[in-house]
Every structure is written in C-alpha cells, then in structure tokens.
A and B are shown apart, each in its own frame.
Chain A
C-alpha cells in the first residue's frame, strides 16, 4: 500500500476552560488512504467536529494539542508548519463542507464570487477564468442552469442547492482531502440522499479522500469505506464499514445502531433509546466513559479504561470489556 494521505497519530485536543480542561479529543489515531472515505460517527460533544477542525488547523486560539499528537498530511507534519503555510493548505488541498449551508455562505455576496474567491486566491486565476471554472463546478455538483444561477444570492436558493454551492466551494481548488462535517443534518431526508450520493460520486471521480462526519449510523452505512465511532473524545470502535455493520462489538456502537428508527421492525414499537446524557468532557469518569450509560457495565468498566483491541478481523478494533457477541446484529 502506498503512503497514506493523512495520518492522525495519538491526537488530543485540550481546551482550557476556567480551571478545568475539556478533553475534546483524546488520543485518536487513524490513517486515511487516497480515494478512501472515513466516517466519523458519534453524538454531539463526542469530539468529532473538534477533530475535523484540528486537521483543518481551525481550532479556537486557546486549544492545546499535547504531545505526542501528530497530524501528517501527504508526508508533511502539520505541527511544524508556520501559520501562513498552514493557511495555504486549507481550502486548497483540504476542503471543508459544514453543517449549516445558510450560515456557511455570505448572504450579501453572489454565489459565483464565493466560489471564485478561493480559486483566485490560491490558484491565481483571473476573474474570467474563475467564473468559467465556477460554472463548471456548479454543473458538477448538479445545479441546472449554472450560467444563470451563478449570479444568485444564497437566499434565492433552497437548502439543498445551498449545500451544493458549499460543496462546489470546497471543491474549487481540487483538494486531496474533503472534510464533510454533518453535511446533511440541516437538510430534508429526500435532499440528504442526493447530497450524500453527490459527495460519494465526486469523491470517486476525483480520487479524493473524504472524512464524512455524522451522528447517524444510517447516513454512513453505504457510503464510507471505513467507520470510526467516537464517544467522549475517543474512538471506541473502528472497522471497515461492512465489517462494522456485520459484527458490531462495542456496546455504544450497538446502542447508536438500535436508536435509529428502522423500517423492518414492527411499527409503533418503542425505540431503544440510550439513557442519560453524554458525559462532561472536563470531568470524565475513570474507566470506560460510556459505562454510566451502558446496560452491561460492571465494576471493571468504571475502574479500568478498555484499550482499543482487535480480534478476528485485523482492521476491526474496539474498546470494550464486555463486547457484544459476534453475529448478534441483523
């Protein structure tokens, strides 16, 4: 296998908050090959957005990245880059799609200019070149009548359209890595499927690597090569997506899976909810952080934190003392 595009190694993100430290991301490691999609799944507050922002270099100023955490992008350790070099990477080689397409666009600027801006800035294109490329990009993200739509303002477009524009902006400089942070959470179900398919198609066509973030396991099911489930800042289970759905081991993954309303269980049945709240990241309990909400938790779970281990499948790792039995999932 060739050199991976992105290596995240024991990365932690700490946010000092008064006298306390919020451990937003805690020793997360993964690698991402070119042309592959990694899904990050977890509840809000599980650290998945902070992880994305750390990779983009867009952390809040007070955030600390304690040693030995490293992010290596295309062979380059991002930690040793100067701020200006880092900024050159963002938007050019790493693109980002955010959750809310309305607040991600500048309401008083025509969308054409918003797409053209990064190309003129990073690639030094002229106004005319950038406009032509913008029209091409709008077509590529499936916007009909791109020539006229390019002069629209964001409020003249529907939510799905706006998200397509945001994707076009992220793609403008042909990034090698696209980070999509909850790209469909603010959208309707019908539009969600289209946007996810669009992202998958673009990723294939351009041989991009993609990090797809969602709180819904159903969203990533058919669309990611690999899936990592995060809880309280840690990766608690990670596997190739098909393997993960076939043999879920970690209790939290299973609970997330069960919480999603399905079309094949009896109508009007009670849903299997996860009780309680996600934990306070500034005061994490010792041991497994999911233990207080886990039905199977025993004394050992709150004493000792489980490490990521693999059994059977080499690329399937999970952190659980009492994993689900293999073959228990549908």
Chain B
C-alpha cells in the first residue's frame, strides 16, 4: 500500500494502566498496522484482549502510553489538545452500549446535532436540517424520532442514533467498538447492513471491533486478530477464513455457532482453559498455555508478526 492511500497508520502502540500496587497492566503492547482509505478492517479477539483499549488509544481517549497514531500523515499523538480537537471531526467512534452512549436527558435530534454545535458549524436552523437529513439516512423517521429521548428507543434504534451522530462531522475514519454485540441477531443484521452502506456510500475507513468473526466477514476487507494485547494474525478476509494460520484464529473460527444441527467443531480447534491475565508477565508466546501446537521454543521466544503470503501476517513459530 503506498503512502497516499494510507489513512491511518498505527506504529508500536502501547497502552498501560496502573493496577493497584501491583504495578502496571499492559493492555496493548507494540501494535502496528495501516488502514487504507475506504478500507474496512476488522479487529477480533476475546474480551480483555485489549481491543477496546486499542480503539480508544487511536481515538486519543485517553492518549496511548507510547507509540504513534497518524491520520492523513498528521501525528495525533504529537498534537497538543487544541490542535487535536480541531482534527477530531475527521475520526469518530461508535460505542458498544447503545443506551449509555446517549445523554439520557437530551432529545435524539439534539444529540445528533451536538457535534456540529460543539464545532460551531452552521446556524441552528441549518444544523436541525442536517440532523433530520442524517436521521433519514440511518433509517430513523425524523418526524417520529426527533423529539424523543433515548429511554423511548430500542437498542437498535439507539445504535442508529450513535451512527448518525458520528457521521455528522463527515469523518474519514469511523472506529466501531463492538457496536452490535449487545443487540439481538435480527437487529444485528440491520445495523451491520447500515454500517456497510454508509461505509461504501461515503468512502469511510472503518475499524470494526468484534469478538465474532462471522460478523466481521460480512463487513470487512481485512481482519486483524488480537490476543492479549498483541496482533497474532492480519490477513485479507478471504485468506483468513479459508486458511487461518494462527492456532488462535482457528479456534475463533471454530467457535462460531453454526446453523447446522449436525455440525460439530473439531475438538483440536477448540481452546481449553481461559486466557492469561494481562497482569501476568509472560515470557515467550502469550498464547502457548492454550495452544494445541505449542512446543518448547514457544516458551523461550516471543513470535513476531511475519509476512507469509500476500498481505498475510502471522505471529507464530509453528503456523498451520
């Protein structure tokens, strides 16, 4: 990918949190990737693997511990607060919990207008007009919903409001942190389709975070699999689903519920046990305790991400 195509470049990003008296937790460790204009990248992993921390570090909410995040060549991590705010319209975020991401006292219409008011763009009448237009674009009838409050909406409708609000500033990058995992499957499909539609019609770049590979497959061009703060496999959707190379990717794939009563996942692909805690300091490969392919060298050296095919990177000493 040449530099002109790159919208977002993340290099050696690390996020640490203080954790009581036991020192610090590394939620994200040394993560690097690029995201092209108009591309949708899926970020997949279990809860606690650091994917939400990574998303928020990209949003600079709060700023990461170390590493750089560059949007359109502009290093967000190096900007002061005022300059960062002036760039914020270009990258927006959608959150997991639909109800909690809306101010309960504010009407839907005013929630959607709020980003424009913050920026001081347009006058009140124009803002209202744009908000109504955006509501229609995300499938909410402005006549019916403009004056409602979040408590009168279902989860799926709240998520539509969040999407509309994020799109008001005409961002180039949309970071979605598990936007559908708290919704029913029937509503999930609506929201996924909506995200796909706005991504394509507006040429957005999408960073889509989920623990469910099946959803990512419908929405994304590339997938990055994350385990305990590190990327373990990055590949185009086709390659990852047809030939996953990292044992953890295989396990994630095997765990997807199938619509076939006779289907049984191969036992060798399922993961025994629970992940390490990010509190533990781990030598060697952090996945080895649950890995069916682990050997002695896995305990000694940490595997690095290496390219093993076109755009296909794996961090494993013994990829399948």
Contact = CB atoms under 8 A, between A and B. Distances in A.
A43 B155 CA distance: 12
Contacts of A259: 185-186, 188-189
Nearest to A184: B257
A263 B193 CA distance: 16
Given A158-B48, A255-B186, A262 B270 contact: no
B218 A160 contact: no
A284 interface: no
A161 interface: yes
Given A189-B212, A192-B255, A193-B270, A269 B260 contact: no
B214 A262 contact: yes
A189 to B, nearest CB: 5
Interface residues of A, number: 43
B48 A193 contact: no
Contact of B258 (A44, A144, A215, A221): A221
A144 B273 contact: yes
Contacts of B275: 158
A321 interface: no
Contacts of B154: 277-278
B23 interface: no
Name the interface size band of chain B.
35 or more
Nearest to A144: B273
B49 to A, nearest CB: 9
Contacts of B46: 188, 190-191
Interface string A217-243: 111011000000000000000000110
B251 interface: yes
Contacts of A271: 188-189, 192-193, 218
Nearest to A293: B186
Interface string B245-266: 0000001111111111111110
Contact of A260 (B221, B259, B265): B259
B280 interface: no
Interface in A115-162: 144, 158-161
Interface centre among A215, A242, A257 (most CB of B within 10 A): A215
B186 A256 contact: yes
A193 B265 contact: yes
Nearest to B221: A268
A188 B189 contact: no
A31 interface: no
Contacts of A241: 261
B273 A270 contact: no
B252 A190 contact: yes
Contacts of A158: 48, 274-275
B238 A221 contact: no
Contacts of B47: 159, 188
B260 A222 contact: yes
B184 A44 contact: yes
Interface in B173-203: 184-190, 192-193, 196
17 contacts: A44-B155, A158-B275, A189-B211, A193-B255, A215-B184, A216-B257, A218-B256, A219-B257, A222-B263, A222-B264, A259-B188, A260-B257, A261-B217, A262-B214, A262-B259, A267-B217, A274-B189
Given A189-B252, A190-B255, A191-B46, 11 more contacts: A43-B184, A161-B274, A188-B46, A219-B257, A222-B263, A255-B186, A259-B186, A263-B241, A270-B193, A273-B192, A278-B154
Question: Top 4 A-B pairs ranked by shortest CB distance?
Answer: A218-B257, A273-B189, A271-B189, A261-B214
